[in-house]
A and B are shown apart, each in its own frame.
Chain A
Amino acid sequence: MTRFLLRRILGAIPLVLGIATIVFFVLNLAPGDPVSFFTSPAVTPEVLEQMRRNLGLDQPVHVRYWRWMTSMLQGDFGVSFARNQPVREIIADILPNTLILSVAAMFLAFVGGVVVGVLQAIRQNRFVDSALSVIALFFYSMPSFWLALMLILIFSLGARNLWGWPIWFPASGMTSVDYPFMSPGAQLRDRVMHLVLPSFSLALVLAAGIARYTRGSMLEVIRQDYIRTARAKGLSERRVVLKHALRNALIPVITLFGLSLPFLFSGAVLIETVFAWPGMGRLVYGAITQRDYPVVMAGAFMFGVIVILGNLLADILYSFVDPRIRYD
């Protein structure tokens, strides 16, 4: 097991470095100059030149690449051009926010997706199957930002101002402004209330894929001999499905865990923008438009690392649930 993990991690290193290198050169070869955002008639060319020097942009590309690579390998991501803050510091602020949102969305998506998928599989080609797949795909087919705006208009604006529902959700942010003055219980509630709409928006999009996958996997399992045997033994259908089929059907679904990570990190940029959630997607998107190279590079690096860790985690889970798989 340890050897397997080590091998995987070592194998992942060139992958992450490769991604980072590609991004570095794409950014640096593109037109546009990071300091041009400071241009105004009040700014003389000399000031711009000095800014470039202060940012280290006066060096040729290969020198900058080498510098960036060596300092990154030492854990130093440099200083953001646009915010003038160490990138490490910014990411330390932002990454936990993304993790909270991703974990919540992933939890909702997997629970919802698996339930829907199983229901569909045991009623293949019947009304329930069709109806559920239409509903799931309906949300999947919506542009996510549009879905998010609709949720805001319904569950925040409409619920509070138009219909006076007893419960309505805040439309944006991670906490209320008076969060620091709340009791711990109220703080937790406040967090959860703010998490509901964004995590649902993200999860709805993800759940359709998981449901589809679960359904397929379930259908395959149900046709297998041991399920027939179980049925023949006279076990109740419920028991057959839940006890025997589901466990085996879920194994391939675990791989989705790793595959959905890139989406949660980047697809979230739209959701993060709509709900004003200070996450990685927004950070990196903003940095791209401002030519804030250090932040983009660090973001790309983090994405790579997290995706690889996610896949690794999926592999480990795999070995837990499927006794046939042994990593030696």
Chain B
Amino acid sequence: MISRGHALTATLALASSLTACGDAGTPGRAALENLPAFCQEVLPRVDAFLADFSTPSGERYGGTAVVGSIGEMPNGMNAFVSSTVTNNQHQTFVNLMPLVRVDENLQPQPWLAESWEFNEDGTEVTFHLRDDVYWHDGTPTSAYDVEFTYRRAIDPQTAFPNASFWNYYDQGPDGVQVLDSLTVRLRMEPHSEPLDPWRSTAIMPRHLLEDVPPSELARHPYGSRCPVGNGPFVFESHRTDESWSFVRNPAFPEALGGPPYLERYVYRIIPEQTTLLTELLTENIDFYVAPGPDQVPQIEADQQVDLHVFPYPGYDMVIWNTRRPQLSDARVRQAIAIGTNRQEIVDAIRSGFGEIANSGVPPFHWAYAPALADSLQYDPDRARELLDQAGWTDRDDDGIRENADGDPLEIAIKYNLGNQQREDIAQIMQAQLEPLGIRARPQVVEWATLLDQINTPDVRDFDAVVIGWRVEFRLDDHEMLHSSSADDPFGWPGIQDPDLDTLLDRLQLVTDREEATPLWREYQYRLLETQPVMYLYFIDRLAGVNRRLRGVELDIRGEWASIQDWWIPAEER
């Protein structure tokens, strides 16, 4: 028999779990005893180090800013696994530091590295690190950390997703050399964007992770449980699927802007857009990451919040499988490109927040050719002509064109399950292409399955697929458009064009922008003619920001690039 006493204990236990809170150094921390041994050892050191600093004084200092976003940051601050844009920004702008940053014009700027120089022929780069950057546990950040990060990143055992960023670097034993504790030299082959990997990947702490076998780095508790960074914000706590919180790093070097104004910064995970909007409008969050374009009127109507619009390094496109008979002719692909009213698509699904794309070179990039903006205007009559010329005419009066063999011009447009925007694109294209005599059939496939279907070289089970693409600041379409990549996973279109090949090869080697610009223009014109993919639009990213949060500057680098300058007036904290 169970006595009634047990039930009572259970109730009490529940009540106490309702109010349980951490009693570690920082009140926001989870109780230490629930954390892995590594964290139990490291976090007290962090608290001890931070305790020596006084709170900076000044009217802007203080307050908590809350950012609400739709997704969790899996793997957190572990730069060796990072794959989402949000994670990456938190690593490079919030909790950790890369060697270099870029400004809003994408010019490299000193960050962890105070300066750097290349040798004559561009085969060696030497970084000089700042001497006043400390890991949050008090250990100085040194050139050995850079060496450690590089060696681990390129180690196949680590399975770092972005390891190929360093492909043109020397990966042998002499590839990296620590000259002194603040100077490190790396060897490479000359390249047009040699610094880019050092912008996108944050430096990791050697003294904490050196003894971890590379194949176990990914699952080390460092990432999600107790990251110890060196950036402007110190990790405070992470509640799975709920929130991340960070506190000001009082030791952040003055020369890099000093300790941030905000005392605390919280990233909340709210997976539903209407809820996010409600939280923004009821002032429970200060910053709504990427609201839907349809929510813009509500954000604009509210007196207390501002809408920010800024460029995003990404675009949506439709990939053609040029191996398919109905899509092998460039004229058919051109006809679809001008027979699709892309402006209407942008207006309908992005409420106009996007810019028509005619190539993968985004408008914010120096290689962008503005003259191209008006190409491929919507012209259904010209599209019909092109289709006629290519031999596709309606031979049996069913409204759909056929070729000489009587095969109908049918294209299945695949998109991934649960992606509303891509689903919408496929549906609108279906409606727009119907009058041209093209039967486009939207087809939904679950994401993991879709990847299997389009990436497996001997399968390529698709006619067309709607896909979003994120560009690196270092542009390179080699994997997708070079004929030698046609049988690699990302050789989706399978296009064989010698002109494109030549241009792609040359572009990666030309280091001088003056010299490269005309080549880039030529490349973009060639894309217009060959149409291996139909570029739809570059995305304009949106953000809803409460007016009490000041100093928010948003640009191509992302939401968190200016977080050090965010501040909240004292009366609104």
Contact = CB atoms under 8 A, between A and B. Distances in A.
A304 B463 CA distance: 43
B243 interface: yes
Given A93-B240, A178-B64, A42 B165 contact: yes
Indicate the member of B81, B165, B240, B418 with the most A CB atoms within 10 Å.
Answer: B240
- Which of A36, A282, A283, A291: most chain B CB closer than 10 A? A36
Contacts of B160: 47
Nearest to B71: A286
A54 B212 CA distance: 14
Contact of B270 (A44, A96, A103, A276): A276
Contact of B17 (A1, A84, A96, A171): A96
Interface stretch (B335-343, B446-454, B500-508, B510-518): B446-454
Contacts of A260: none
Interface in B424-460: 446-449, 451-452, 455
A316 B4 CA distance: 12
B314 to A, nearest CB: 12
B452 A33 contact: yes
Interface residues of B, number: 70
Interface in B223-276: 223-225, 239-243, 245, 264, 266, 268-272, 274-275
Given A51-B159, A180-B21, A161 B239 contact: no
Interface string B466-500: 00000000000001100000000110000000000
A38 B83 CA distance: 7
A106 to B, nearest CB: 12
Interface stretch (A136-144, A149-157, A203-211, A237-245): A149-157
A38 B223 contact: no
Given A39-B489, A191-B18, A82 B447 contact: no
Contacts of B221: 85
A42 B164 contact: yes
Contacts of B448: 31-34, 36-37, 291
A84 B156 contact: no
A38 B161 contact: yes
A45 interface: yes
A47 B64 contact: no
A278 interface: yes
Given A41-B490, A278-B239, A187 B19 contact: yes
Pick from B81, B161, B223, B281 the residue with the most CB of A within 10 Å.
B161
Interface in A72-105: 79, 82-86, 89-90, 92-94, 96-97, 99-100, 103
B284 interface: yes
B268 A149 contact: no
Given A43-B163, A187-B21, A188-B18, 14 more contacts: A42-B164, A46-B156, A47-B156, A47-B159, A54-B157, A90-B240, A149-B275, A170-B279, A178-B64, A179-B21, A274-B274, A278-B242, A289-B418, A289-B447
B533 interface: no
Interface of A: 1, 31-34, 36-48, 50-51, 53-54, 79, 82-86, 89-90, 92-94, 96-97, 99-100, 103, 149, 152-153, 156-157, 160-161, 168, 170-174, 176-181, 184, 187-188, 191, 273-276, 278, 282-283, 286, 289, 291, 316
Judged by DSSP, the binding face of A is: helix
Contact of A276 (B64, B156, B271, B302): B271
Interface of B: 1-2, 14, 17-19, 21-22, 27-28, 34, 36, 64, 66, 72, 74-75, 78, 81, 83, 156-157, 159-165, 215-216, 218-219, 221, 223-225, 239-243, 245, 264, 266, 268-272, 274-275, 278-279, 281-282, 284, 302, 418, 446-449, 451-452, 455, 479-480, 489-490
Contacts of B21: 179-180, 187
A72 B221 CA distance: 21
Given A36-B448, A42-B161, A179-B21, A84 B218 contact: yes
A177 B266 contact: yes
B240 A181 contact: no
A286 B243 CA distance: 16
Given A45-B489, A191-B19, A276-B268, A153 B218 contact: no
Contacts of A291: 448
Nearest to B453: A31
A310 B290 CA distance: 41
Q: Most chain-B Cβ atoms within 10 A of its Cβ — which of A173, A176, A274?
A: A173
